[in-house]
Amino acid sequence: MLKSKTQLLSVEHKEDLDVALQILLKGGLVSVPTETVYGLAANAKSAAAVKSIFAAKGRPASHPLIVHIAGADQLIKWAIDIPPVAYVLAERFWPGPLTLLLNKAPEVPSEVTGGKSSIGLRVPSHPALLQLLKRGNIGVAAPSANPYKRLSPTSAQQVFAELQGKIDAVLDGGPCEVGLESTILDLTAGQMCILREGPITAQQIAELTGCSVTVPSQHDIAVPGNVAEHYQPRTPLFIGTRAQILARLSEAESTVACVFYANTAELPVNAYIRCLPEAKPAYAQALYDTLYKLDHLKVSAILIEQPPQGAQWGDVNDRLRRAALPF
Ligand code: TXA
Ligand code: MG
């Protein structure tokens, strides 16, 4: 569906929230803020609306979408055979960046789940989106609001630049607080399994539930839509040590951009150099935004310094592994 004009709405204006809700209820597409990344939302009970998400993103229809709901009390509308551990996790981590995979309720359109028998569900914590879900008494299917295979957007301006003309509206809710996509936890098998690492770690889930959690290293091929070449800027991205980057920088003939971790001492001063914060939450929040902006500088490559690799950094390293080539 080609939309001619995309409205830019703001969560600051009550009437804009009303407009966003009306568009969703009528089967249109609205990019909505979440705490992780901006989503491209459609009423999840409307097969036609959900189909138009795939058209706007240029994404294959076999890729399942996450349904965003207002609270754990809504789970029974979307899933069946819900194990008690789902409620334990919901109580602790919702609203928040944890997506639970459960067995899909038969009445959910198969377009939402790419024909799969499972469904991804989460309660987002952005107050404006929660308000829309509650007021409309709806669930919205929403993938990240990026064109297929590109970086997930963490600001309304980024969504607007990439998708204007293809969607009805973008609801500006400010920069995303978390900045990386949610953890996806599969609860449909006997053993809990993380399909995509995210802000909620396997350790946090295991500690809370007392059950073990697997994080398969090859999970990127397990699910359509979770493939290696996602999460990339257009510019080639390379990851290495600071010494490798500085050596490459001294040889480079064409302009390259660099992203360093923490300590800025003794770094060259240059318009194409960025430093990301030392603390993991602040690093994650800035990562996509930084890559997105550098991507628009028309440099020949972006060189990124390897950040720490401890358990807390699992999601950052997962995304960098998919996006970057080693030196
Ligand atoms: O933080 C997030 O999760 C963001 C915000 C908007 O909520 N959403 C997001 O959606 O990242 P998307 O579509 O870009 O990524 C969702 C991932 C895909 O890799 C998809 O394959 C997987 O979730 N997924 C969704 N439903 C699934 C299912 N039923 N079975 C297996 N994987 C599923
Ligand atoms: Mg995505």
Q: Which residues pair with 238 in a beta bridge?
A: 303, 325
Classify 166 as helix, strand or coil. Answer: coil
pTM (global) more than 0.85 = yes
52 CB less than 6 Å from ligand 1?
no
Phi, psi of 197 (to 5 degrees): -70, 150
**For all residues of the chain together, what is the average pLDDT?**
93
Q: Which residues pair with 201 in a beta bridge?
A: none
Q: What is the pLDDT of residue 327?
A: 86
For ligand 2, the distance from its centroid to the CA atom of residue 20, given in whole angstroms, is 22
User: Which residue's alpha carbon is at the smallest distance from atom 7 of ligand 1?
Assistant: 39
- Which residue out of 63, 66, 103 has the highest number of ligand 1 atoms within 8 Å of its CB and is therefore the one to mutate? 66
Rounded to whole angstroms, how far apart are CA atoms 280 and 16?
A: 34
Asked if 305 contacts 289 with a C-beta cutoff of 8 angstroms, the reply is: no
Q: Which domains are seen in the chain, by residue range? A: 7-214 (3.90.870.10), 237-323 (3.40.50.11030)
Buried b / exposed e along 153-172 (16+ C-beta atoms within 10 A): bbbbebbbebbeebbbbbbb
Q: What is the pLDDT of residue 227?
A: 59
Phi-psi region for residue 143, left (φ > 0), alpha (ψ -120 to 50) or beta?
A: beta
Tell me the ligand closest to 39's alpha carbon.
1
Task: With CA atoms as reference, report the closest residue to 325 among 308, 294, 304.
Answer: 304
181 CB less than 6 Å from ligand 1?
yes
Mean pLDDT score, 299-321:
95
Rounded to whole angstroms, how far apart are CA atoms 59 and 42?
A: 15
For ligand 2, the distance from its centroid to the CA atom of residue 231, given in whole angstroms, is 7
Task: With CA atoms as reference, report the closest residue to 320 among 239, 221, 199.
Answer: 239
Task: With CA atoms as reference, report the closest residue to 157 among 21, 293, 270, 287.
Answer: 293
- Provide the residue type at 43 as one letter: N
Contacts 24+ apart (CB under 8 A), 245-250: 245/303, 245/304, 245/305, 248/303, 248/327, 249/303
Residue 204 pLDDT exceeds 50? yes
For ligand 1, the distance from its centroid to the CA atom of residue 244, given in whole angstroms, is 34
Q: What is the pLDDT of residue 225?
A: 53
Residue 220 pLDDT exceeds 50? no
- Provide the residue type at 288 as one letter: Y
* Confidence at 1, pLDDT banded by 50, 70, 90: very low
28 CB less than 6 Å from ligand 1?
no
